[in-house]
Amino acid sequence: MENPWNALEVPGDDYVHPMDRAAWPRRSVLPPQPYLGSFHGGKVMWLLGGFGTGTDMAIEHEAHRGTVLNWAQRNLGCESPSVPNLWIDAEGNDPTFKATRDVRWWRRATGALFTTMSPQLGESEAWLALSMRLFVLEAFPYPAKTRPNCLLPSHAYTAYLLSSWIESGRPLVVGRAERFWCELVPSLKKALDVNQAIRVRNVQAASISVGNLAAGADDYSRVVKALLSE
């Protein structure tokens, strides 16, 4: 299936995809994030509920706006998701970028994985590996304080990525919005039954750690082993 997001103009004044405007007739000043990381190079998929808004977003800083828009253009413009997650792979950016809300959220959410992986890979390589090998799908591609109960035409591509991932046999973590994901791609239910897909204990925690995965250390070891594989 062709990636519809590469038709979205970045930079622009309104980042709602033309195909979604009838279903989501609102203006978005932040580029969408339907996915993050590499689909083909990914080792573990993480299903989340969508990204929020707030103060101190990186794009609000004049010094960082160009960095964010350049990344969004590459991320959305690729034939298939293959661009590192900017918010995790922030090693080349200055300290003020790393202090923004976006980077702080992602580094907190993946902090346990980084701590586990960095002794083997080194700190910079651990962040880079996470930015590529942890492939993320968001249940809603546009910023919102809470996930809207809204099915968009662009969700067809999200469903394609999820179903293709399940068919590949690679592991995935259902971090948030399990009901939405199972309705979007019913084969996820079987993936949960056979433990290809892993549930979390606390959906509000938004982290992959020993304490937050359903089977604790067993699930966590499986996730780490996959992320460390070439």
Q: Which residues contact 199 (CB under 8 A, 6 or more apart)?
A: 174, 178, 192, 213, 214
Mean model confidence pLDDT for the chain: 95
Pairing mode of beta strands 172-174, 82-83: unpaired
Q: What value does the CA radius of gyration of the chain take, rounded to a whole number of Å?
A: 17
Predicted pLDDT at 91:
65
Tell me the per-residue pLDDT of 62-120, one tens digit each, with 9 for 90 and over: 999 999 999 999 999 999 999 999 999 976 768 899 999 999 999 999 999 999 999 99
Q: For the whole model, what pTM was predicted?
A: 0.96
- Which sign, positive or negative, has the C-alpha torsion 163, 164, 167, 173? negative
Cβ atoms 117, 126 nearer than 8 A:
yes
Q: 130 — alpha (psi -120 to 50), left (phi > 0) or beta?
A: alpha
Tell me the per-residue pLDDT of 7-24, one tens digit each, with 9 for 90 and over: 999 999 999 999 999 999
Tell me the per-residue pLDDT of 157-206, one tens digit each, with 9 for 90 and over: 999 999 999 999 999 999 999 999 999 999 999 999 999 999 999 999 88
Question: Domain-by-domain residue ranges, the chain?
Answer: 4-228
pLDDT average, residue stretch 46-57: 89
